[in-house]
Amino acid sequence: MARYSHKFRMQMVRRMVGANRISATALAAEIGIPQPTLSRWLREAATVSTMKADDKKTAPEKAPEKAPRRPQDWTPEERLQAVLEARSLEGADLGAFLRSRGLHESDLAEWRQAAIGALSTAPRRSRRGRSPEQKRIRQLERELDRKDKALAETAALLVMLKKAEALWGDEGVGTREKSAKKRSR
């Protein structure tokens, strides 16, 4: 496995995030380094401040470029800001905006729908105001609990009856019937 210098790795990262950026797949084909390795270098540069430290050593006059973040890593405030900034852009201007932020048009459309959904004026139900379905479910749950308790009580009575028969035999159970039969003889 070849070891690459930190400087070389940062040069490759700059090629993947710079103004004339190139994809990790295209760069891998060009220089012969596996694409997963290049992608890992890009992720590491985005999460670790190694790129900033290296830029200060090699090119102090140029500000370090930030690697674009994944759209799912954006905060809700940043997403809303991007939607608001992009709302008046069209065509090439919108494309340039999206590229500069590392976004796709589908990300922007999804965020716009989420913002609209969050701001919709649909009335929300309070905790007290339950829907008819919720009331019916609650009623059925209460009825089920009542029946479960009755079933448990019946089962307990049957167990007690069997224990009584085991202890007293035929004498303990149904003694009234046997007494009535003896009297009638």
Each residue of 4-37: pLDDT tens digit? 888 888 888 888 887 778 888 998 899 888 999 8
Mean pLDDT within 169-184: 62
DSSP 3-state of 171: coil
Regarding predicted confidence, which is higher, 141 or 60?
141
Please report the pLDDT score of residue 143 as a whole number.
96
Q: Which two tokens stand for residue 43?
A: 């992720």
Give the span between the Cα atoms of 131 and 75, in whole angstroms.
34
Q: Residues 93, 97, 100, 104: what is their CA dihedral angle, to the nearest 10 degrees?
A: -110
Segments making up each domain of the chain, as ranges: 6-58, 71-118, 132-184
Burial of 134 by CB count in 10 Å (0-12 exposed, 13-18 middle, 19+ buried)? exposed
- This model's pTM is above 0.85: no
Residues 67 and 101: beta-carbon distance below 8 Å: no
pLDDT of residue 107: 85
**pLDDT given for residue 101 in this prediction:** 81
pLDDT value of residue 127? 59
pLDDT band at 150 (very low <50, low <70, confident <90, very high): very high
What pLDDT, in 10s, does the model give residues 85-119? Answer: 888 888 888 888 888 888 888 888 888 888 888 87
- Give the mean pLDDT of 127-137: 83
State yes or no: pLDDT of 130 exceeds 70.
Answer: yes
